[in-house]
Amino acid sequence: MDISSLVNSEDLFELQLLHPATEEPLGISFMIRSAESNEVKKIVRQHSDRFLASRKKKLTTSKVEAEYLDKAAAAIASWSWGEQQWKGEQPVLSFEKAREVVEEAGWIYDQVAGASEDRANFMKSLPKGFQKL
């Protein structure tokens, strides 16, 4: 078996958002990039470059939090809100809007970040005998 193609970090994973209390599907789907995709790595590199360029500044909790939020926002490649709304509207995807959503709704952040970090979501198929959680 050629293991070099087990994971394709450039594939997208369809995440069906679940209600944070009932875990019922909300009719909202996000296409998620892998945390190892080029688009997400680009955001991580930008943060690292800024930090390294300003060595005199200390790394703060708020800077780390901002990096995690930016990384999650970058992981959202597209979305469909179905019949649902965000602040009374059907949001148009932009990095800024995705950042707003993941920052203001921690439960959405959790689902997006979890899906993006889970390598199994970006595998063509799992070997026989393995289960996907």
Q: Return d(Cα 114, Cα 34) in angstroms, integer.
A: 10
Query: Does the pLDDT value for residue 133 go beyond 70?
Result: no
Q: Residue 5 corresponds to which tokens in the numbers above? A: 């193609």
pLDDT digits (tens, 9 = 90+) for 97-128: 999 999 999 999 999 999 999 999 999 755 55
| Distance, CA of 43 to chain centre | 12
Closest by CA to 18, choosing from 114, 91, 92, is 114
pLDDT digits (tens, 9 = 90+) for 32-58: 999 999 999 999 898 888 777 776 777
User: What residue ranges do the domains of the chain occupy?
Assistant: 15-122
